Structure 1
Amino acid sequence: MLHVKSIGTPLVLLLALLAMSGCEQAEKSAQQMLNQAAESAKEAIDKTNEAAQQALSEATGSEGSDKAGKPERDASAQDI
């Protein structure tokens, strides 16, 4: 019976270490997924903004203002 107790403590410690390393891996995976989702959302916002600007230019008939306004949109997108 003494033999089982001496194995029990290292086993509990080993399981705790495995659980902690599993949590770290899950955290890294979740962070990676969040980064990918944020990048996809940014791309979708940029494409929507581009399409809206193009539609506005076509509706107003001004092609030149679209090119002049583009650097401002890029700067504001970086602030977010």
Structure 2
Amino acid sequence: MLQLKSIGTPLVLVLALLATAGCDQAEKSAQQVLNQAAESAKQAIDKTNEAAQQALNDTLGGEGQKPESKQDKNDTQDI
């Protein structure tokens, strides 16, 4: 029985070290996954912003004068 007690303490310490090392590796892996997700989200936001800017430019560039003429028509109808 004395031999089991003398083996038990070092065994518990080794298991604790292995668990700690495993936690560190899991933390690093989780951090990598989060960084990749953040980068993907940033790219999606950038692409959406570019598409929105392009749509806005297309809308304003093609119909820039029309809203003003509609405004003039509304003004003359009120008179």
Q: Shared fold by TM > 0.5?
A: yes
In the other structure, the counterpart of 1:6 is 6
Q: In 2, Cα distance between the equivalents of 1:46 and 1:57?
A: 16
In the alignment of these two chains, the number of paired residues is: 62
How much is the aligned-residue C-alpha RMSD, in angstroms? 1.0
> 4+ residue stretches of structure 1 with deviation over 3 A?
none
Q: Does 1:21 align with 2:18?
A: no
Q: Percent identity?
A: 79
| Structure 1: segments with no counterpart, 5+ residues | 63-80
1:61 Cα offset (Å): 1.0
Highest Rg: 1 or 2? 2
In structure 2, distance between residues paired with 1:19 and 1:31: 18
The structure with higher relative contact order (CA 8 Å, sep 6+) is: 1
TM-score, normalised with respect to structure 1? 0.75
